[in-house]
């Protein structure tokens, strides 16, 4: 079985495509040995015939530098099915069936913005506006959710979250207990933050107490805070006609 989003090669080759700031952060003495270990593990698994997603684990770090980021949406680990994971939390290609959590994200958006157009599963239009779609674990094996959760990825993504918590302004959307476990890390930062939290958009928890995802109002609250702090708001719409514009924005990053 093959899929276009399979990982193959070296993390360090991919790191060369990242924004220079992230290259510097990932080269620090506390992080580089962790990356070395993960890279060796991935190589061994590939040699053993494992299928690993996504093809570009560092994709979000290629597209955004720290100064570009206004909003962080934290996911857990990548989708574990063929063709799904893109290196952007919650996002899948447009030709892939909408995953259940993403359907609930769209349902919440539609309830907050009556006229919003949501015609895409690919969330690059959000990324190009400064929304960091960050999974805390960056690789996974086919059909095995959380299979790479103990590789050490958290040490790397925690360093990223801590770094962003020291940026002047940032909104953190924390859905579910895993994402909310990063609150102390965010609160330790010196930046001006808005932390919005609720249950995860998964069908298992989206409507349940204590803080249902559906009805949380996070997208409007995020934009209100950005506006109050003199920042450009996020256009959450996802229209098929945006494709050429998104591609051009990607080329300019």
Other beta carbons within 10 angstroms of residue 72's beta carbon come to 26
Is the separation of the CB atoms in 250 and 128 below 8 Å? yes
Alpha-carbon distances, residue 9 vs 55, 119, 248 (angstroms): 9, 33, 27
Alpha-carbon distances, residue 125 vs 82, 84, 111, 250, 253 (angstroms): 23, 17, 20, 10, 13
Other beta carbons within 10 angstroms of residue 97's beta carbon come to 12
Per-residue pLDDT tens listing for the chain (253 residues):
457 899 999 999 999 999 999 999 999 999 999 999 999 999 999 999 999 999 999 999 999 999 999 999 999 999 999 999 999 999 999 999 999 999 999 999 999 999 898 999 999 999 999 999 999 999 999 999 999 999 999 999 999 999 999 999 999 999 999 999 999 999 999 999 999 999 999 999 999 999 999 999 999 999 999 999 999 999 999 986 544 443 433 333 2
Active site residues: 77
DSSP count for the chain of H helices, then E strands = 11, 6
């Amino acid at each position: 079985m093959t899929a276009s989003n399979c990982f193959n090669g070296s993390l360090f080759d991919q790191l060369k495509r990242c924004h220079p700031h992230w290259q510097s952060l990932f080269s620090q003495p506390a992080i580089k040995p962790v990356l070395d270990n993960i890279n060796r593990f991935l190589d061994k698994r590939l040699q053993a015939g494992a299928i690993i997603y996504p093809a570009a684990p560092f994709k979000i770090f290629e597209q955004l530098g720290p100064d570009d980021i206004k909003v962080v949406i934290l996911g857990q680990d990548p989708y574990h099915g063929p063709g799904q994971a893109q290196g952007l939390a919650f996002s899948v290609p447009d030709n892939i069936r909408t995953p259940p959590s993403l359907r609930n994200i769209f349902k919440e958006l539609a309830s907050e913005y009556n006229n919003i157009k949501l015609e895409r599963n690919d969330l690059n239009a959000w990324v190009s506006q400064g929304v960091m779609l960050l999974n805390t674990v960056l690789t996974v094996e086919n059909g095995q959710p959380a299979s790479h959760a103990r590789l050490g990825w958290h040490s790397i993504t925690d360093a990223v979250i801590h770094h962003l918590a020291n940026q002047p302004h940032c909104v953190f959307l924390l859905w579910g207990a895993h994402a909310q476990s990063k609150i102390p890390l965010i609160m330790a930062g010196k930046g001006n933050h808005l932390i919005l939290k609720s249950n995860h958009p998964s069908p298992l928890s989206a409507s349940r107490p204590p803080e249902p995802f559906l009805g949380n109002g996070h997208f409007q609250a995020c934009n209100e805070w950005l506006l109050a702090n003199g920042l450009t708001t996020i256009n959450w719409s996802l229209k098929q006609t945006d494709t050429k514009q998104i591609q051009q924005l990607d080329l300019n990053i």
